Amino acid sequence: EIFVVDDFRVDIEKHVNKLYEIVKELYNNTKDKITFWELIFDPSPKIVARTFLYLLFLANMGKIELIQEEPFGEIFVVPIEN
Amino acid sequence: MPYVEKLEMKGFKSYGSRKIVVPFSRGFTAIVGANGSGKSNIGDAILFVLGGLSAKAMRATRIGDLIFAGTKDEPPAKYAEVAMYFNNEDRGFPIDEDEVVIKRRVYPDGRSAYWLNGKRTSRSDILDVLSAAMISPDGYNLVLQGDITKFIKMSPTERRMIIDEISGIAEYDEKKKKAMEELKQAEENLARVDLLIREVKTQLDKLEKERNDALRYLDLKEKLEIAKTTLLVGEVRRLENLIATSQERDKEIESEIERINEELEKIAKTILEKEKTLSQVERELEEKSEDGILDVTKKISEVTSQIELAKKNIELARKEINESKRRLTKVKEELKTVSEEIEKGKSAIERWKKRREKLLGEIQKKEKERNELILKLAEIDKNFTIAKQELDKVEEDLENAKKEQYFKESEITKMTEEIERIKARNSQNSTRRLVLKNKIEELKEEINSKKSELSEIDSKIERAGARVRKIEKELEEVQRKLEKITPEIKKLNEELIKAEARKEISQNRTLEALKKANIPGIYGSLAELIKVRDDTYLTAVEVALGSHADNVVVKDDKVAEKAINFLKRNKLGRLTFLPLNKIRPRKLNGTSKGIPVMDVIEYDPQFRNAVSFAVGDTLIVNDMDEAREVGIGKVRMVTLEGELLERSGAIVGGYYRPRTKLAVNTDEIRMALEAREREKEQLESKINALKLEQRGLERELFELRMKKSDVSKDLQMLQKDMERFLNEDKGLKEEIEMGEQRLKELEERIHQTKGDLAKLSGRIERLEKMRNKLRKALDNPEARELNQKIREVEHEISGLREELSKIESRLENLDIRINDELIPRKANLEEEIEGLINRINAFKASIVQNEEDIKSLQERLKELQEKEQEVKDELKSLRDEREKLREEISQMREEKEKLRDVLQKLRLEANSIKIRMAQYEAQLKEKTSELKHHDVKVVKEIPEDLEKLREEIEQMEDEIRKLEPVNMKAIEDYEVVERRYLELKSKRERLEAEKESIVEFINEIESQKRNVFMQTLNAIAKNFSELFAKLSPGGEAKLVLENEEDPFSGGLDIEAKPAGKEVKRIEAMSGGEKALTALAFVFAIQHFKPAPFYLFDEIDAHLDDANVKRVADLIKEASKDSQFIVITLRDVMMSNADKIIGVSMRRGVSRVVSLSLEKAMQYLEKARAKNANALGL
């Protein structure tokens, strides 16, 4: 039980970093804000939920900015350059 | 059901000063985000806006801490504000709006303000509105972080109270409370009536007794008259009978007397004849027994004893002869053996004497031979003997010297060994002493520290003891006060009830009804407004007031009019009113005697005129005498006993029954009672405090004493150790000293012994040399041979001498035996033989003589016996005749005496009959005249036993006397009081029935309450078991009441058995198991009665993915009925949600992003289809 949770949490960092790389790459290609949908590669609820969570982690880490104009509206992702 | 549409926050915790909107919707909303980003603050905001008061529950130290504290880039907020928007389209809130907004703001000083739909309001109003929709800041539907196990941790009773609340049984409790109040009222009424009943009953009992006495008295009087008449008639008849029987008897007696006299004469004649014959017989008998018989008997006994004597002599002589013969044979035998022994001894002496002669000759010969040999040896060497002696001596010396030498040497070895030993021992002891010294130092320190500890404990004990004693004293004092006060309270209580009862009796109903009308300006009746200063005047003042007591004092005539109209309208009776603006006081005509009534009463000065109107003209006097002094008719007067003397001269008096209108003051008693009760409470609380302190101190004392005994024990042990060590050290020191002394001594002795040894060696050498020389000198063969011979001869001589001495002693023995023993013995024996033979002959002669005597004596005896028999026969016949005559005479005399007695008795009887007859006649006359005063007709039957009747009469008279004086009026009075008593009884029954119906009602409520509760619980318990099985497949769980009989006296237990495990106590379950059990409980309630929304903060922290999935499914399903807001970090949970609120923190400020998972899925589905199309699939 505990092992599973730990495994998942250890993996988080890896997944988060990978997602960050993707965001940066997309941004470098278009130099425009990225929509949340662009980051979903498998439309299962679990993947959507995870991706959303990782984006929140990245935002918390100060690596990206999440922009939303209205509740439940389109979510835009912009990497932050230091 | 209402649900949360959105939450607006401003300046709340990490959410910065700008307004943040968190959108919610129906169904399942997940709040996600990294740890520390501010997820849980949304939960806190919900708690806050719902009116939560506990800062701790919102994870803050103070309510003021909820305000955004500022960052580098942003200033702190001035206040925190949260608004919650509820959808109220179905009117779940009792407000006629589609949307209900509650808002709360808190300022840094902790002050809160609330708004409801934009209007300022109070917290309690908010809570009321919320609770109408079944929402509360501490409801079970809000599960905060780490709080999921609260349902496990809470006590069974708290858990049951959740069910209580859900089932809504509070309503019944409210009803029950009201009913209980009614019950109390009913019981009080009952107590009051009981008191009245008791008083009336006492009166009734007394009257009943008096009535019964009166009835009995009347009855007795009647019966007595009948009994007395009956007795008289009976006695007259009895006397008549008696006289008749007496006359008859008298005649009988006279004829009997005549008959007896004749018989007596006949008997006297016969006695005379018999006596003559008797004296003749007696004379004859005397003559015959005088001589004859006595003489013969004497002679017979003489002869018989002579014969006996002779027989005994013969027997004795025969025994003697036999004895002597036996002795003779024995003596003869002995004489023979003695003679033989003498012969043998004499011949042995001869033989031994010859042998002695021979031995003496031999000894002489040998002695001569020895002397010759000695002479020869002396000639051979004169010096030999001397040398021999010297050698012997030298050899002995030598041996001694050698022995001594050996001894000394071994002594030296021993001493050396001992020295070694002592040295080793000493060094060992020295090291031991060093060790001991250290130990002793340590012990000293320890002992000192224990001693100081002990003295500290002692002083503590003393302090605590003193305090305990002080407390005990205080307690005793307070207790004493309390004991004093308790009976006072009881007494006051009784007084109060009595006073109230009395008050009720004395109340004027019309007046009471008027008072209830609440017309302003009515002050009350005079009786109520007046207070008598001294009870002595109570009766007087009451009488003086008279009917004025019920007069009502009013402000003015208008008020009086109003009151009168009221009474008229309600048909309540009539009253006299004293309007203060109109009423005129009355004055007392000047007089110096008595006391004016006005002077003994107290009243409010504004009522002076009214009071004076009633009693202003009245004077109190002690008694009628004083009244006469004042002058009857001059002034209105009243005596202390209540006689009223009107000015008109009319005097009212008699027994006065106090109306007690004045003395009844329940308020005063009640106040006194309350004061006492307060005092009692204070005393009791003081006792409690003191007892608490006392217990504490006693516990402390006990602990201190335990500690003291421990420390003293330790100290004792230490001191014992110390003593032991000191003793050991001392012992060791002494031993070392002694060892050293001994060493010195030993060394000295070794030195000395060595010197001795050297001397001894020289001596031994010398002695050995001398011995050798002497041995040589003694070596001569001739001398040795002679010596040998001499020794042989001497040996032979000594053998012979020995034999000689033996023979001589034997000779001597024989001689003694013969001369001193045997010869005298022989002479004695011969003499004895001769004596014995003479004796035998003498006895034989005696036997012959005696035998002859016996023969002649027996002949004489026979003659005598014959003579004796003759005399005896003659005497016997005479005696028989005499006895017969004597008996006959005495019988006759007895008969004569008997007849004389009878005669005497008959004469006496005749006399007494005559006397009695005279008496009877007198009595008869008396009774007959007495009977004339009574009515003979009442006599129905005359009993046999007139004595019994007389006794009955006496008893009746006695009883009548005892009954007197009789209160005949009691018969009527009893009926009046009995009616009153029965009325009260029926009133009591009504009240009792009323009380019972209330009790029944309460029971009804109780059972309804229980039913409602059990229905709720059973439904929830069923849900719980099902849900638990769903969440923990294969597991089982139950909700169990601690007390099935009375659910409200116990709590509610959870029994859970997770899959594949034994039954576990819930405390022993893992975090995950606890969370699942708690969730089953929450959902069980939700299924039964859903709350509008649920907030779960990280309930899934301890669950594995499979369990999270189960919980998520359950939430998803439950979210059809209620709104669920779930804060989580788990993707499994998130992916089940309808909406996801993401929280992230940027530069210390939390922000919110929202995602509709439904929409996302639709969108993605569409995009994928588009892509598929584009790719031509």
Residues of A in contact with B1146 (CB under 8 A): 59-60, 62, 65
Task: Indicate the pairing of strand B651-652 with strand B1036-1041.
Answer: unpaired
Give yes or no for a contact between B1072 and B1104, defined as CB atoms under 8 angstroms apart: yes
**Reported confidence tier of residue B427, pLDDT bands at 50, 70, 90:** confident
Dihedral Cα B416, B418, B419, B422, nearest 10 deg: 170
Q: Which residue has the tokens 């006949």?
A: B266
Q: What pLDDT, in 10s, does the model give residues A12-62?
A: 788 888 899 999 998 988 888 898 888 887 778 888 888 899 999 999 989
Residue B948 has pLDDT above 90, yes or no: no
- Report the pLDDT averaged over residues B908-937: 85
| Residue B1151 C-alpha, separation from nearest chain A C-alpha, in angstroms | 9
- Report the pLDDT averaged over residues B31-58: 89
Q: Is B35 annotated as a binding residue?
A: yes
The DSSP code for B4 is E
Three-class SS state of B1149? strand
**Reported confidence tier of residue A4, pLDDT bands at 50, 70, 90:** very low
Task: Please tell me the distance from the alpha carbon of residue B212 to that of residue B763, in angstroms, as a whole number.
Answer: 151
Q: What pLDDT, in 10s, does the model give residues B1083-1110?
A: 998 888 888 999 999 888 888 888 899 9
Least confident of B21-35, B79-93, B286-300: B286-300
Task: Please tell me the distance from the alpha carbon of residue B933 to that of residue B164, in angstroms, as a whole number.
Answer: 94
* A2-79 is classed CATH 3.30.70.1880: no
The DSSP code for B822 is I
- The whole-number pLDDT of residue A3 equals 42
Task: Indicate the pairing of strand B552-554 with strand B142-143.
Answer: unpaired
3-state secondary structure B215-258: HHHHHHHHHHHHHHHHHHHHHHHHHHHHHHHHHHHHHHHHHHHH
Give yes or no for a contact between B352 and B843, defined as CB atoms under 8 angstroms apart: no
Task: Please tell me the distance from the alpha carbon of residue B625 to that of residue B631, in angstroms, as a whole number.
Answer: 10
- The whole-number pLDDT of residue B491 equals 87
Token output for B1115: 């939430």
Task: Please tell me the distance from the alpha carbon of residue B142 to that of residue B130, in angstroms, as a whole number.
Answer: 14
Best-predicted range by mean pLDDT among B25-29, B390-394, B623-627, B819-823?
B25-29
- The whole-number pLDDT of residue B289 equals 66
Least confident of B568-572, B593-597, B781-785, B998-1002: B781-785
- The whole-number pLDDT of residue B502 equals 66
Q: From residue B612, how far is each of B523, B551, B555, B584, B638 by CA, in Å?
A: 16, 13, 16, 8, 15
Query: Do the chains contact at A72 and B1163, CB–CB below 8 Å?
Result: no
Token output for B378: 């002396």
Q: From residue B1136, how far is each of B42, B364, B788, B1031, B1111 by CA, in Å?
A: 20, 161, 148, 16, 10
Q: What are the two backbone dihedrals, phi and then psi, of residue B54, each rounded to the nearest 5 degrees?
A: -85, 115
Give yes or no for a contact between B537 and B619, defined as CB atoms under 8 angstroms apart: no
**Reported confidence tier of residue B659, pLDDT bands at 50, 70, 90:** low
**Reported confidence tier of residue A9, pLDDT bands at 50, 70, 90:** low
* pTM score of the predicted model: 0.43
Q: From residue B445, how far is each of B365, B459, B707, B709, B816 by CA, in Å?
A: 107, 22, 20, 20, 102
- How confident is the prediction for chain B on average, in pLDDT? 85
Q: Is B34 annotated as a binding residue?
A: yes
Contacts of B836 (CB under 8 A, 6+ apart): B324, B325, B327, B328, B331
| Residue B83 C-alpha, separation from nearest chain A C-alpha, in angstroms | 17
- Report the pLDDT averaged over residues B1028-1047: 87
Q: Which of A50, A56, A65 shows the shortest C-beta gap to B1131?
A: A50
Query: Do the chains contact at B1146 and A62, CB–CB below 8 Å?
Result: yes
Query: Do the chains contact at B1144 and A4, CB–CB below 8 Å?
Result: no
- Report the pLDDT averaged over residues B464-485: 90
**Reported confidence tier of residue B1128, pLDDT bands at 50, 70, 90:** very high
Token output for B112: 């809160």
Burial tier of B1100 (Cβ tally within 10 Å: 0-12, 13-18, 19+): buried
Q: What pLDDT, in 10s, does the model give residues B727-741?
A: 988 988 998 899 889
Three-class SS state of B620? strand
Query: Do the chains contact at A49 and B1135, CB–CB below 8 Å?
Result: yes
- The whole-number pLDDT of residue B508 equals 66
Query: Do the chains contact at B1144 and A59, CB–CB below 8 Å?
Result: yes
Which residue of chain B is at minimal alpha-carbon distance from A64? B1146
Q: Give how far the C-alpha of residue B1154 lies from the chain's centroid of Cα atoms, to the nearest Å.
A: 75
- Report the pLDDT averaged over residues B377-395: 74
Burial tier of A13 (Cβ tally within 10 Å: 0-12, 13-18, 19+): exposed
Q: Where are the domains positioned within chain A?
A: 2-79
Q: Which residues are bridge partners to B1152 per DSSP?
A: B1143
Query: Do the chains contact at B1164 and A45, CB–CB below 8 Å?
Result: no
Query: Do the chains contact at A48 and B1164, CB–CB below 8 Å?
Result: yes
Task: Please tell me the distance from the alpha carbon of residue B370 to that of residue B792, in angstroms, as a whole number.
Answer: 9
Contacts of B570 (CB under 8 A, 6+ apart): B513
- Report the pLDDT averaged over residues B640-665: 75
Q: What are the two backbone dihedrals, phi and then psi, of residue B1009, each rounded to the nearest 5 degrees?
A: -60, -45
Query: Do the chains contact at B1134 and A62, CB–CB below 8 Å?
Result: no
Task: Indicate the pairing of strand B618-621 with strand B595-596.
Answer: antiparallel
Q: Could you tell me the domains of chain B? A: 1-139+1091-1108+1122-1177 (3.40.50.300), 294-378+781-927 (1.10.287.950), 531-661 (3.30.70.1620)
Token output for B468: 């305990």
- The whole-number pLDDT of residue B58 equals 86
Token output for B556: 């003015």
Which residues of chain A have a Cβ shorter than 8 Å from any chain B Cβ?
1, 4-5, 8, 36-37, 40, 43-46, 48-50, 52-53, 55-57, 59-60, 62, 65-66, 68, 71-72, 75
Query: Which amino acid type is present at position B695?
Result: R
- Report the pLDDT averaged over residues B954-964: 86
Token output for B968: 């005949």
Give yes or no for a contact between B101 and B115, defined as CB atoms under 8 angstroms apart: yes
Token output for B871: 């005399």
| Residue B1041 C-alpha, separation from nearest chain A C-alpha, in angstroms | 33
User: How much is the ipTM here?
Assistant: 0.91
Task: Please tell me the distance from the alpha carbon of residue B823 to that of residue B815, in angstroms, as a whole number.
Answer: 11
Residues of B in contact with A62 (CB under 8 A): 1146
Interface test with A, best of B72, B1135, B1143, B1158 (most A CBs within 10 A): B1135
Residues of B in contact with A72 (CB under 8 A): 23, 1139, 1154-1156, 1159
Number of residues assigned to chain B: 1177
Residues of B in contact with A50 (CB under 8 A): 1131, 1134
- The whole-number pLDDT of residue B658 equals 66
Q: Which of B1146, B1153, B1161 shows the shortest C-beta gap to A45?
A: B1161
- The whole-number pLDDT of residue B780 equals 65
Give yes or no for a contact between B496 and B530, defined as CB atoms under 8 angstroms apart: no
- Report the pLDDT averaged over residues B651-656: 81
Q: Which of A44, A46, A53 shows the shortest C-beta gap to B32?
A: A53
Instruction: Report the run of H or E that residue B639 belongs to, with start and end.
Output: strand B636-639
Query: Do the chains contact at B1151 and A62, CB–CB below 8 Å?
Result: no
Q: What pLDDT, in 10s, does the model give residues B153-172?
A: 888 898 898 888 888 888 88
The DSSP code for B95 is S
Residues of A in contact with B1161 (CB under 8 A): 43, 45, 48
Residues of A in contact with B1108 (CB under 8 A): none
Query: Which amino acid type is present at position A25?
Result: E
Residue B429 has pLDDT above 90, yes or no: no
Token output for B258: 């005549």
- Report the pLDDT averaged over residues B37-51: 91
Residue B870 has pLDDT above 90, yes or no: no
Query: Do the chains contact at A48 and B1157, CB–CB below 8 Å?
Result: yes
- The whole-number pLDDT of residue B1043 equals 87
- The whole-number pLDDT of residue B781 equals 66
Q: What pLDDT, in 10s, does the model give residues B706-723?
A: 888 888 888 888 888 889
- Nearest CA to B1054 among B1044, B1064, B1062? B1064
Token output for B334: 């002995």
Give the Cβ contact number of residue B1170 at 10 Å: 10
| Residue A9 C-alpha, separation from nearest chain B C-alpha, in angstroms | 10
Task: Indicate the pairing of strand B28-33 with strand B595-596.
Answer: unpaired
Residue A6 has pLDDT above 70, yes or no: no
- The whole-number pLDDT of residue B80 equals 94
- Report the pLDDT averaged over residues B224-236: 85
- Nearest CA to B124 among B112, B141, B110? B112
- Nearest CA to B554 among B521, B515, B519? B521
Contacts of B379 (CB under 8 A, 6+ apart): none
Residues of B in contact with A71 (CB under 8 A): 6, 21, 23, 1154
Counting one residue from chain A and one from chain B, the pairs whose CB atoms sit within 8 A come to 93
Which residue of chain A is at minimal alpha-carbon distance from B1156? A72
- Nearest CA to B1097 among B1155, B1052, B1057, B1143? B1143
Interface test with B, best of A60, A70, A75, A77 (most B CBs within 10 A): A60
- Nearest CA to B759 among B302, B408, B239, B1101? B408
Rg (CA), chain A: 13
Task: Please tell me the distance from the alpha carbon of residue B46 to that of residue B1093, in angstroms, as a whole number.
Answer: 11
Residue B142 has pLDDT above 50, yes or no: yes
Task: Please tell me the distance from the alpha carbon of residue B461 to that of residue B705, in angstroms, as a whole number.
Answer: 7
Q: What are the two backbone dihedrals, phi and then psi, of residue B658, each rounded to the nearest 5 degrees?
A: -60, 135
Q: What pLDDT, in 10s, does the model give residues B283-324?
A: 777 776 655 566 777 778 888 888 888 888 888 888 888 888
Instruction: Determine if the peptide bond prior to B23 is cis (ω within 30°).
Output: no
Token output for B1173: 């199309």
Query: Do the chains contact at B1142 and A52, CB–CB below 8 Å?
Result: yes
User: What angle, 0 to 180 degrees and rounded to 10, lies between the N-to-C axes of helices A2-30 and A45-61?
Assistant: 70
What percentage of chain B reaches a pLDDT higher than 70? 96
